[in-house]
Structure 1
Amino acid sequence: SQQAGVDIIRRSIEEPLRQISGNAGFEGSIVVDKILSNKSSTFGFNALTEQYEDLIEAGVIDPAKVARCALQNAASVASLMLTTETLIAEKPKKDAPAAPDMGGMGGMGGMGGMM
């Protein structure tokens, strides 16, 4: 659906921030929420100083080419997902059951010298 595409774009726009904050040792979702709750368009997370601040005043400027490429790639993937009728993904693997207990093994005597 169209809403799914919008959700994909929104999430992909947040992904660089999640990655940067994760690399700095912070929980990406918390950082994103804190930034989105601030109304300033220049408020952000400075991973170098580990501070939330006005990034323009702090001299943290994202090169336009990097931001443009990230948006183009996100839009391309979202477009493919919206126009493709079938998606192929790996089926999640279920954990193998634990080995059954070793009943009927007796006392296991005669194993001297094992210490």
Structure 2
Amino acid sequence: VLDKIKGGKDNFGFNAQTGEYGDMIKMGILDPAKVTRAALQAAGSVAGLMVTTEAMISDIPEENAGMPAGMPPGMDGMGGMGGMM
């Protein structure tokens, strides 16, 4: 794709949606420079994160994890906190 576009003139490009080559303006494909720049910067940022991330670890969620554990015995009132209970 890149070699073919390099050989083209002016507005020649590739329409990825239809798979056709041609004059991008005549095909109605216009991207403002700011939008194109922002998209390329975002893609580069994500690619950089993916390259530098060595591994990601997470737990496999259990189907029925149940209720979370309650307070351990002997923790009611927490003495010394007057007026709380």
Global fold match (TM > 0.5) = no
Task: State the structure with bigger RCO (CA 8 A, min sep 6), 1 or 2.
Answer: 1
Structure with the higher fraction of residues in helix conformation: 1
| Structure index of larger Rg | 2
Query: Normalized against structure 1, the TM-score is what?
Result: 0.34
